[in-house]
């Protein structure tokens, strides 16, 4: 169970909290007794949020594995998604 601090306690004890987190502890912050946030080390954070590939890279890998026609999408489908017009007239 992580150590708990109220927001007021956390304000007064921030250096201590940072030292505890750096030593490997996880700290839970509460407001009026309800948990609202967790403070954890950068190493733990990085483990929870692995680097995600860019959409363009993921899409390129998808196209390498599948042909659009195989999944029911015509090649000209994407060209028709965006209107070629310059947009509507706006009076300013």
Is pTM beyond 0.75 here? no
b/e map of 44-56 (b: 16 or more CB within 10 Å)? eeeeeeeeeeeee
Whole-angstrom Cα distance, residue 74 to residue 87? 26
Q: Are 28 and 4 spatial neighbours (Cβ–Cβ below 8 Å)?
A: yes
Whole-angstrom Cα distance, residue 18 to residue 55? 35
pLDDT tops 80 at residue 26: yes
Residue 27 has a pLDDT of 96
Residue 90 has a pLDDT of 81
Q: List the domains of the chain with CATH numbers.
A: 3-48 (3.40.1620.10)
Q: What is the pLDDT of residues 27-83, one digit of tens each?
A: 999 999 999 999 999 989 888 887 888 899 998 898 899 887 788 877 777 776 766
Partnered with residue 27 across adjacent β-strands are: 3, 39
């Amino acid at each position: 169970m992580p150590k708990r601090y109220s927001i007021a306690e956390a304000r007064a004890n921030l250096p201590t909290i940072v030292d505890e987190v750096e030593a490997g502890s996880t700290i839970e912050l509460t407001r009026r007794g309800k948990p609202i946030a967790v403070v954890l080390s950068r190493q733990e954070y990085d483990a929870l949020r692995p680097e995600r590939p860019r959409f363009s890279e993921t899409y390129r890998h998808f196209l390498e594995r599948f042909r659009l026609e195989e999944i029911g999408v015509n090649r000209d489908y994407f060209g028709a998604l965006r209107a070629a017009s310059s947009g509507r007239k706006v009076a300013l």
